Amino acid sequence: MPVTIKVENLKKSYIIKHSGEGYVSLRETISNNVKSTFQKTKNIATLNHIEKAPRKEEFWALDDVSFEAQQGDRIGIVGRNGAGKSTLLKLLSRITEPTSGRISIKGRIASLLEVGTGFHPELTGRENIFLNGALLGMARTEIKKKFDEIVAFSEVEKFLDTPVKRYSSGMYVRLAFAVSAHLESEILIVDEVLSVGDLQFQKKCLGKMEDVSKSGGRTVLFVSHNMGTVNQLCNKAILLKSGRLTDIGQTTEIVRKYLKSGTVNGRIEKDSIFGTLVPFIEFLEVGINETGSNDISISPSSEIKITVKGYCKSDLEYFRSGVTILKDGVKLFSLHDNEEPVPLEKGAFVSQFTIPKYFLRPGDYTLSIFGHDNGNLRKGTEWIYGNEILIFSILEEWDPINDPHNEGIVNVQQLSTT
């Protein structure tokens, strides 16, 4: 297959200023500028030294990244927050320029990086479809051929002649993805933005990306924190850490390394949980048994004890947390700490879950955590998720209950006897 993307020794740096100050309002900025002018005049008059400029620091968002993508590849880009995933996509999309290195691209690129990019807010959905096609170098007749498919896929026909600034974020993403996926480009780049849409539309988008890659020969670059989605869609994956490419290879192996990278002695570090900063709760630590190593391997004859530690930021009238067990991105089952939401006081809390011995058959599994309050009519229910944050393995051991003649992923007989 021909190479469509070739990245060589790519680097991107930003200059960060350290002034010792946090957020500054407009009024404070104007006031400080007036004071600064007055102070400089006073310093000159009194021959005092002028204050030193804020200290600057060079931050490398990407550092010496190299890889190739072939026609028809579906490459997942994974890594913790701040690893450089979005920066890489912006460089490939030519939104920003690299500090050094080389990017060679064969073909046109359609990018969907964040809600709000690529569309003109004052134009209608219809007008933006033609605008995007023109930016890709397509003739108006080519765009017209794809127009009905785009509208049908996006499901926003009723609002097609409404300015997109009035669209909800979900509607915006629907139309933006439909345009990116259907217009004739050789490369499709998609960031985490699909998480804005509903679950059914996400599945629809994944199916479309797989289809345009396999049947149309398009190269797809996909960033997501959902490892099940990455496993499902991508045939290759890239692992980024602190701006450096640490590994590239088959998706399942890269995902496994990524999930393990956040564990310390069978526990996941706080900063590796995606989406911990929410108004009402914070997950601090998740553990599976006490294994004493980063590789959590469990005998089928042992119970699986899961412990979730967190901090509640204010008293809650109702709260419930839970865990979900997945295999190859497929959700098998969920467990809750309580049958119904219960009151939770401000402060530290611990939730515990147990999976019976011999219930899971040998193989690799991932674990997600979640929590929610009971909501109210004004704001609805608030949720917090940590998607596939831990990986563990059930060892290959024969036993009288979990024998090879019993087929399936879980042992339902064992569940019914506990």
Say if CB 105 and CB 185 are below 8 A apart.
no
What pLDDT is attached to residue 398? 57
> Bridge partners of 81?
none
Q: What is the mean pLDDT of each run of 10 residues along the chain (418 residues)?
A: 91 76 52 60 54 69 93 91 88 90 91 74 91 81 90 90 88 85 85 69 84 88 82 89 92 82 54 49 80 67 89 85 85 88 89 90 85 60 73 73 63 54
> H or E element: which one contains 253?
helix 251-260
Distance separating alpha carbons of residues 224 and 202, to the nearest angstrom:
12
Say if CB 128 and CB 208 are below 8 A apart.
no
What pLDDT is attached to residue 378? 43
**pTM to 2 decimal places:** 0.66
Six token digits for residue 117: 């990019």
Q: 56: number of CA atoms within 13 Å, CB side?
A: 6
Supply angle C-alpha 204, 210, 213, rounded to 5.
Answer: 140
What pLDDT is attached to residue 197? 60
What pLDDT is attached to residue 88? 93
What pLDDT is attached to residue 92? 92
What pLDDT is attached to residue 27? 55
- Cβ neighbours of residue 310 closer than 8 Å, sequence gap 6 or more: 281, 282, 283, 284, 321, 348, 349, 350, 351, 371
What pLDDT is attached to residue 271? 46
Cα–Cα distances in Å, from 149 out to 78, 157, 206?
31, 11, 16
115, burial (CB in 10 Å: exposed 0-12, middle 13-18, buried 19+): middle
What pLDDT is attached to residue 62? 93
What pLDDT is attached to residue 115? 62
What pLDDT is attached to residue 71? 92
Say if CB 288 and CB 311 are below 8 A apart.
no
Distance separating alpha carbons of residues 291 and 288, to the nearest angstrom:
8
What pLDDT is attached to residue 305? 92
What pLDDT is attached to residue 350? 92
Say if CB 321 and CB 373 are below 8 A apart.
no
Distance separating alpha carbons of residues 102 and 65, to the nearest angstrom:
10
Distance separating alpha carbons of residues 170 and 109, to the nearest angstrom:
23
